[in-house]
Amino acid sequence: MKYMLIMRATDEALAGMADIDFTKMLETMGRFNTEMIRAGVLLAAEGLADPAEGVVVDFSSEPPVVTDGPYGETKELFGGFYILNVASKEEAVEWARRSPVTGWGFKIEIRRVTTIDEFPQDNEWIKKEREWREATGQL
């Protein structure tokens, strides 16, 4: 099963990271990533750029409103993610607990990634997606 570990942090927690040596942080995260690679569970891992570089498309009105970052009223920011291939939610939780990014204001949300097999296989759009995934080596 695939699980996404969503790395979240408050503005205050992110500000506190400004004092951490960047090379040391890369080394610490690199060791954690290497551990997951060696265990054969890491499928993807990415960090995200500063929220000030982002854009929000809000569908609360017609037409949708597009707003440049930084976002307003955000208590926690989504800063990056891991995609793991593990046997269970419990195993995903265990990997999240090992994260070296810890402390007040940091959280990891764990969500199962659905598979194409969970959708109606006779649907024309699911058939097209399955064909695309097979053609691109994703299935």
Q: Residue 52: its pLDDT value, please? A: 79
Tens-digit pLDDT profile for residues 26-55: 899 999 999 999 999 999 999 888 777 888
- Two structure tokens written together for 115: 């598979």
Quote the CA–CA distance of 61 and 76 in Å, as a whole number: 24
Q: What is the mean pLDDT of residues 12-16?
A: 82
Q: Residue 96: its pLDDT value, please? A: 95
Number of H helices, E strands in the chain: 4, 6
Q: Residue 16: its pLDDT value, please? A: 82
Considering only residues 101 and 59, tell me which one the structure prediction assigns the higher pLDDT. Answer: 59
Q: Residue 30: its pLDDT value, please? A: 92
What DSSP state is assigned to residue 105?
A: T
Edge-to-edge strand list for the sheet holding 77-85: 42-47, 77-85, 2-9, 106-113
Domains and CATH numbers, the chain: 2-135 (3.30.70.1060)
Q: Residue 71: its pLDDT value, please? A: 65
Tens-digit pLDDT profile for residues 65-107: 888 876 655 666 788 999 999 999 999 999 999 998 887 888 9
Contact 16, 102 (CB under 8 A): no
